[in-house]
């Protein structure tokens, strides 16, 4: 009886899922030994066929396996490649007699070694085409080990299979192993395309750029696919400047953009609000005869609706219909959302009627946008009315719809109606879920009713619904907002005890609360704790720490967190740069702030209104009004709409130098629809007061009162200053009385102003009157005002009062008043 040998593949790759069957073949077939030469050799296929003896096999499965291998061998010998491919695909299925593709590969290799290269390429391609990337990678590993070099086409099929199955890291790993490790296989454009696609999908734009540069160095045309993939990655990261450069390069290189190219860029520009760029691309499409599709139109509609440009959206919709595209449910969901963004719930309801009239089939997603929009507008009654109409057409509300209703009542703080909606939900046989309860709990946390929030967590558990990660995150955020940090740590401990692992949101809520409370050290302790638990901080976490450090003026820590962020591979965001710029400007370090301003654009971001506001404020603080105005004009030219916070430093700075310019800025602000606040009025009132224009200052004060803007001590101090500038002493006491009536008790700054104002008008009796009140209320004069008062009293011969002032100031520790000893000694005589 012939001896058998068991042959197993030695693969470093992961073993197949199915148990590997031992390949049992006759020793005479698998290994032939020349007794004379003592050398092992492999016979030709014909010899192998003669030696092949399936009757010697011990079981039916072995016979089936060897019969299939024989069929494959014959098909390949006859050149019937397509039939062979179909057979191979059937042999790698789960019900095949072979335990895995590597099992089939090994047996065929022993049966027909000369056909192994052709067969292995077919098998590798079959695994890839059959969506078996794991098995394809295992087979590739075995092929390498046994010295079989796959062809480029089969390798490309394997890379495509890995990308399709979202194994992007493995794709890049194998790309490097195959093409960058000196195996002599040159990647083609398809292989590079799959590698670039994998890098982009992983968010690794740096690696994608390296691959593209490698293609260029090899003078390889990128092709529209690679350009589109790269543009998609850049647009996803909102790096539209870089995306524009890639598009320009594409045009210069004579690569014709296709519909995907244009749709990608239009979507990117729409999402960052650069709609004019999107429209320019749409016009270019027309010039290049690239026909738009419904995706193009929906993308532009989405951008316009996001920007609340509903008239333009209507024109695009008309163009869309004129080109034969019928608005679908998704189109209407975009339009519903746009109307709600404009606060026009009636407009959305009109669209709903229009869609119904046109017979447009709306799906649950579209309904949910409409109902959710009504909910956000607080129009829950109308929501229920629409829902009733829908139910009449056979629409059955589910848990999601009821959750929307619960959310609507919570938004209105109508908690009784929200609870009633949950009860109705249960009456209709629907079981509330975590989202239902979390919505309710979140609202109680938002209103700082933590006791009731905790009660509903208990009710939730009583109904058999276990609090989930989001429930605990809501509680942590609630206690964090209330600065009850001990409770936050208790909840984290409770989560751990219940086997619920905190995530970056859990720690983010805690860190955010600590940073807002200025407790940066404790926030960093929380950061180290989350890292030690294997939870990776993201850009938002570092932004909280950087922003918090800048707010408390600790720029050293802010830059330390910034460096740590970069060293861990986390890309800074626009918020990161804005925080650093704001912190530097607050410290007067505007030149360093300008450096980080430059980094924003070099990182592919566009400075926003917050960036410009920080720089304008910084230059205003160092009295560089000209630079403030230049930045103001730049942001307007870039289409960045100023906010009320833009005008605070602008008007404040100009009111120190040029009230005509300050007044002009005020008018521009009003034309933009911005409502002036206390800071704007105070800056203008102070500017006019400094000029002695009390009439204008009082007029602005009246405007404040009429608009129900609360005045503060700065308002009154400015009015008092203005009256002194015009020598109107009589009205000053009335202002102080009015100030007190508003609940604003004069403090040291107001008293110093009162004493100094009377002194400058040579009314030292009035000055001494305010000094007495000031001293009795526990406030002290500053040195210069003290000197002015004592000198004035002394010149009028009122040495006793001068001595009292100097004596009292001396007792309180102010020994810098001029001639204090002389005045006191004279007063005693």
* CATH number of the domain where residue 782 is located: 1.25.40
Cβ neighbours, 10 Å, residue 356: 12
Q: DSSP letters along 629-640, please?
A: HHHHHHHHHTT-
Q: What is the pLDDT of residue 13?
A: 37
Cα dist from 156 to 121, 131, 148, 437, whole Å: 11, 14, 16, 50
| 252-268 confidence digits (pLDDT tens) | 988 999 999 999 999 99
Is residue 820's pLDDT more than 80? Answer: no
Interatomic CA distance for residues 821 and 826, integer angstroms: 9
Cβ neighbours, 10 Å, residue 296: 24
Per-residue pLDDT band at 816 (split at 50, 70, 90): low
Q: What is the pLDDT of residue 815?
A: 57
C-beta separation of 250 from 212 below 8 A: no
Is residue 36's pLDDT more than 80? Answer: no
Kindly report the pTM of this predicted structure: 0.59
The three-class DSSP label of residue 18 is coil
Interatomic CA distance for residues 614 and 620, integer angstroms: 10
Q: What is the pLDDT of residue 510?
A: 94
Q: How many domains does the chain have?
A: 2
Q: What is the pLDDT of residue 4?
A: 31
Angle, CA 205 vertex, CA 200 and CA 208 arms, to 5°: 70
Expressed as residue numbers, the domain containing 25 is 1-150
| 321-338 confidence digits (pLDDT tens) | 898 898 888 898 899 888
| 97-140 confidence digits (pLDDT tens) | 888 898 888 888 888 888 888 888 898 988 888 889 898 898 88
Which of 45-59, 176-190, 429-443 shows the highest mean pLDDT?
Answer: 429-443
Q: What is the pLDDT of residue 475?
A: 96
- What count of Cα atoms within 13 Å lies in the side-chain half-sphere of residue 560? 10
Is residue 94's pLDDT more than 80? Answer: yes
| 713-754 confidence digits (pLDDT tens) | 999 999 999 999 888 888 999 999 999 999 999 999 999 999
Residue 87 lies in a domain: yes
Instruction: Kindly state the percentage of the chain with pLDDT values over 70.
Output: 90
Report the mean per-residue pLDDT for the chain. 86
Residue 516 lies in a domain: no
Residue 228 lies in a domain: no
C-beta separation of 418 from 443 below 8 A: yes
Residue 652 lies in a domain: no
C-beta separation of 565 from 572 below 8 A: yes
Q: What is the mean pLDDT of residues 180-202?
A: 86
| 543-552 confidence digits (pLDDT tens) | 999 999 999 9
**From the DSSP assignment, how many helices (H) and strands (E) are in the chain?**
46, 4
Q: What is the pLDDT of residue 60?
A: 73
Residue 458 lies in a domain: no
Which of 101, 127, 150 is at the close of a domain? 150
Is residue 682's pLDDT more than 80? Answer: yes
Residue 479 lies in a domain: no
Which of 96, 131, 150 is at the close of a domain? 150
Residue 636 lies in a domain: no
Is residue 182's pLDDT more than 70? Answer: no
Residue 791 lies in a domain: yes
Interatomic CA distance for residues 179 and 185, integer angstroms: 6
Which of 150, 174, 195 is at the close of a domain? 150
Q: What is the mean pLDDT of residues 203-224?
A: 90
Q: What is the pLDDT of residue 15?
A: 37
Per-residue pLDDT band at 412 (split at 50, 70, 90): confident
For CA atoms 378, 381, 382, 387, the dihedral sign is positive
């Amino acid at each position: 009886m012939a001896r058998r040998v068991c042959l197993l593949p030695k693969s470093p790759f992961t073993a197949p899922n199915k148990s590997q069957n031992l390949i049992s073949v006759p020793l005479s077939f698998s290994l032939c030994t020349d007794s004379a030469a003592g050398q092992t050799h492999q016979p030709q296929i014909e010899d192998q066929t003669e030696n092949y003896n399936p009757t010697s096999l011990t079981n039916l499965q072995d016979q089936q396996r060897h019969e299939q291998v024989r069929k494959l061998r014959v098909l390949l010998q006859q050149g019937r490649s397509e039939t062979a491919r179909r057979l191979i695909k059937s042999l790698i299925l789960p019900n095949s007699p072979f335990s895995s593709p590597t099992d089939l590969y090994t047996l065929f290799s022993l049966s027909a070694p000369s056909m192994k290269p052709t067969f292995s390429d077919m098998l590798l391609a079959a695994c890839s085409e059959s969506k078996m990337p794991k098995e394809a990678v295992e087979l590739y590993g075995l092929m390498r080990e046994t010295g079989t070099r796959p062809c480029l086409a089969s390798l490309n099929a394997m890379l495509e299979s890995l990308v399709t199955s979202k194994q992007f890291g493995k794709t890049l790993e194998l790309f490097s192993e195959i093409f960058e490790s000196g195996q002599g296989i040159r990647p083609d454009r398809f292989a590079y395309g799959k590698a670039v696609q994998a890098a982009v999908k992983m968010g690794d734009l740096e690696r994608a750029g390296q691959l593209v540069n490698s293609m260029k160095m090899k003078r390889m045309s990128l092709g529209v696919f690679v350009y589109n993939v790269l543009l998609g990655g850049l647009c996803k990261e909102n790096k539209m400047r870089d995306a524009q450069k890639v598009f320009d390069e594409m045009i210069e290189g004579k690569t014709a953009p296709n519909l995907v190219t244009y749709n990608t860029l239009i979507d990117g520009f729409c999402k960052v609000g650069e709609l004019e760029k999107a429209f320019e691309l749409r016009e270019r499409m027309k010039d290049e005869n690239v026909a738009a599709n419904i995706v193009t139109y929906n993308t532009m509609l989405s951008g316009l609706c996001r920007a609340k440009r509903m008239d333009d959206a209507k024109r695009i919709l008309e163009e869309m219909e004129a080109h034969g595209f019928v608005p679908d449910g998704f189109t209407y969901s975009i339009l519903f959302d746009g109307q709600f963004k404009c606060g026009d719930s009636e407009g959305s309801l009109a669209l709903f009627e229009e869609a119904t009239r046109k017979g447009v089939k709306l799906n649950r997603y579209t309904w949910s946008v409409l109902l959710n929009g009504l909910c956000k507008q607080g129009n829950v009654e109308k929501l229920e009315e629409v829902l009733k109409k829908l139910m009449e057409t056979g629409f059955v509300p589910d848990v999601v719809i009821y959750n929307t209703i619960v959310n609507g009542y919570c938004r209105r703080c109508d908690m009784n109606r929200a609870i009633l909606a949950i009860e109705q939900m249960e009456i209709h046989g629907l079981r509330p879920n975590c989202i239902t309860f979390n919505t309710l709990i979140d609202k109680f946390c938002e209103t700082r009713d933590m006791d009731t929030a905790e009660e509903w967590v208990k009710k939730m558990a009583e109904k058999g619904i276990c609090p989930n990660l989001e429930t605990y995150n809501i509680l942590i955020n609630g206690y964090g907002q209330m600065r009850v940090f001990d409770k936050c740590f208790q909840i984290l401990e409770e989560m751990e005890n219940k086997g619920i692992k905190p995530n970056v949101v859990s720690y983010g809520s805690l860190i955010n609360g600590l940073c807002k409370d200025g407790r940066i050290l404790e926030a960093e302790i929380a950061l180290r704790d989350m890292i030690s638990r294997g939870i990776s901080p993201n850009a938002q976490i570092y932004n909280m720490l950087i922003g918090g450090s800048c707010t408390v003026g600790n720029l050293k820590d802010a830059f330390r967190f910034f460096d740590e962020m970069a060293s861990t591979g986390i890309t800074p965001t626009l918020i990161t740069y804005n925080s650093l710029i704001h912190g530097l400007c607050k410290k007067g370090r505007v030149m360093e702030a300008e450096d980080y301003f430059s980094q924003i654009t070099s990182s592919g971001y566009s400075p926003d209104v917050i960036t410009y506001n920080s720089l304008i404020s910084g230059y205003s603080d160092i009295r560089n009004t000209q630079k403030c105005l230049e930045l103001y004009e730049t942001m307007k030219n870039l289409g960045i709409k100023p906010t009320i916070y833009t005008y605070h430093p602008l008007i404040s700075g100009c009111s120190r130098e040029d009230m005509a310019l300050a007044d002009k800025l005020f008018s521009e602000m009003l034309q933009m629809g911005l409502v002036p606040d206390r800071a704007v009025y105070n800056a203008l009132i102070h500017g006019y007061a400094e000029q002695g224009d009390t009439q204008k200052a009082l007029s602005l004060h009246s405007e404040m009162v009429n608009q129900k803007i609360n005045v503060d001590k700065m308002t009154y101090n400015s009015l008092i200053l203005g009256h002194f500038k015009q020598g109107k002493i009589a009205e000053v006491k009335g202002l102080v009385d009015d100030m007190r009536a508003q609940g604003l008790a004069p403090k040291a700054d107001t008293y110093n102003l009162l004493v100094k104002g009377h002194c400058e008008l040579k009314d030292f009796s009035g000055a001494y009157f305010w000094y007495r009140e000031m001293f009795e209320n526990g406030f002290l004069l500053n040195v210069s005002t003290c000197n002015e008062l004592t000198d004035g009293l002394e010149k009028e011969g009122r040495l006793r009062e001068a001595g009292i002032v100097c004596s009292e100031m001396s007792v309180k520790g102010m020994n810098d008043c001029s001639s204090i000893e002389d005045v006191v000694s004279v007063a005693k005589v």
